[in-house]
Amino acid sequence: MADSTPSPAATATKAVSIVEVSPRDGLQNEAGFIETADKLALIGQLIGMGARRIEVASFVNPRRVPQMADAEAVVAGLPPAPGVRFIGLCLNERGVARAIAALDSARPLDEAGCVLVASNSFGFINQGQSVTDGIAANRAMLKQARDAGLFAQVTISAAFGCPYEGPVPAERIVELASRMADAGAQEIALADTIGVAVPDQVRALTTQVIAAIAPVPIRLHLHDTRGLAPANAWAGYEAGCRTFDSALGGLGGCPFAPGAAGNVGTEELLYLFGRSGIATGYDLETALAANRWFSGVMGRPLPSRTGKAGDFVARPLPTGAKP
C-alpha cells in the first residue's frame, strides 16, 4: 500500500495563516472598558497559542470607540515577540500618523490596516465618507504607511452586504480591490462585516478578486452572525484564500453596523482546518485554555461553539457498558 502521509511540500501548500483580531475587533464593541493590562495579557495568551499576526489596537476617535482609547498604551506595552507581527487599524490619515508615532515605542507596530467601506451609506456612518472619498483617502494612507516602513494592507468592509443598502454588487468589490492593489496595498481583505454571506457567494467573490489582483494576497474577515462563518471560510479556502481573520472566543461586533455579531471564533477555524489536515501553526488545546482564561476576565462564557464543546476526542465507555 502506498504511503498516504502528505509530503512536506504538500503540507506547506495546504497551510493557512490566521490573523488574530480579538484585542481590537473582538473588544471594540464591548460596553465595559477592558483594562490595558488585560488586553496585554490577552495578547500574551494569543502568542502562546501560536498567533503570528495580531491586530492589537485601532487608532480611532476614542469618543466614537471608547474601548480603543488606550491604543498607544497597548502598543507601548507589547511584549518582545520575535516572529510575531503586530497590526494597528487606521481609518484615516490621522490614524496612520498615530500608528507611525507609535513606532517610537519599545515594540513598534509592523502593519497598518486601512479600511475602505464598499457602500456610501455605511461609509458615511462608519468613517464619514463616500466610497469615492474612501478610495482617495486610502491611496494617501497606503503611501503614508509604506513611506514609514509599515506593511500596508486594506480591508474592504461590507464586501458581502451593507446593513443599510443590502447586497453589494460583486463587480464593485472587484473594482475596489483592483484600485487598492494599484494604489500599493500589500494585502487586501474582504470583510463580511455583518455576517450575511453564504459559501457560494464567498467562493465566487474570492475567486474573482484573486484573479483581479494577483499576486497581491487576499485575506477573509468573516463574522458569524448566522452561523455560516466556518462554512464561508472553507469556501474561501477552496477558492484559494490562505489567510483568515478570527477572534478568540468568537468575540466582536461593529458599533456602527446594526445586527453584526462576533467574528468567526479562532477555535472554530482551528478545529475546521486541523480536522481537515491543514496546518495553522496554532495549538487548539492552548486556545481552549486561553478561552477559559479570558471568559474569566470578561465575566461570561465566550460565544465560540468549539470553545464550549472542545476538541473531538473519544470518551471512555460508562462503567459496565459493552462496546
pLDDT digits (tens, 9 = 90+) for 220-267: 999 999 999 999 999 999 999 999 999 999 999 776 666 667 999 999
What pTM value is reported for the model? 0.93
Domain membership flag for residue 291 = yes
How much is the mean pLDDT over the chain?
Answer: 92
C-alpha cell at 164: 443599510
Going from the C-alpha of 267 to that of each of 20, 90, 251, 292, the distances in angstroms are 11, 27, 11, 12
> 119: domain CATH number?
3.20.20.70
Respond yes or no on whether the N-terminal peptide bond of residue 215 is cis (omega within 30° of 0). yes
Residue 228 near residue 259 (C-beta atoms within 8 A):
no
The pLDDT score that the predictor gives to residue 51 is 98
- Please, which residues have CB within 8 angstroms of residue 241's CB and are 6 or more apart in sequence? 206, 210, 218, 219, 220
Residue 141 near residue 112 (C-beta atoms within 8 A):
yes
Using DSSP, state whether 132 is helix, strand or coil.
Answer: helix
Domain membership flag for residue 314 = no
pLDDT digits 0-9 by tens, 60-97: 999 889 999 999 999 999 999 999 999 999 999 999 99
Going from the C-alpha of 259 to that of each of 116, 225, 226, 240, 253, the distances in angstroms are 20, 8, 10, 29, 8
For range 134-148, the mean pLDDT: 96
Query: Rg of the Cα trace of the chain?
Result: 19
Q: What is the distance in angstroms between the CA of the first residue and the CA of the last residue of the chain?
A: 30
pLDDT digits 0-9 by tens, 255-277: 666 666 799 999 999 999 999 99
Domain membership flag for residue 66 = yes
| pLDDT over threshold 80, residue 4 | no
List, by residue number, the catalytic residues.
Answer: 254
For range 124-135, the mean pLDDT: 88
Q: Which of 292, 220, 224, 257 is nearest to 28 (CA)?
A: 257
Using DSSP, state whether 78 is helix, strand or coil.
Answer: coil
Extended beta strands in 118-217, E state: 151-157, 188-192
Structurally, how many domains does the chain consist of? Answer: 1
Domain membership flag for residue 136 = yes
Distance CA 283, CA 267 (A): 9
Domain membership flag for residue 312 = no
Domain membership flag for residue 111 = yes
Domain membership flag for residue 10 = no
Distance CA 233, CA 147 (A): 33
Domain membership flag for residue 47 = yes
For range 30-39, the mean pLDDT: 94
Which amino acid, 211? A
The DSSP secondary-structure symbol of 52 reads: S
The pLDDT score that the predictor gives to residue 319 is 82
Range(s) of the domain holding residue 117: 15-307
Interior angle at CA 72, CA 291 and CA 149, nearest 5: 100
Q: What are phi and psi of 279, to 5 degrees?
A: -70, 140
Which amino acid, 248? L
Residue with the bigger pLDDT between 322 and 206: it is 206
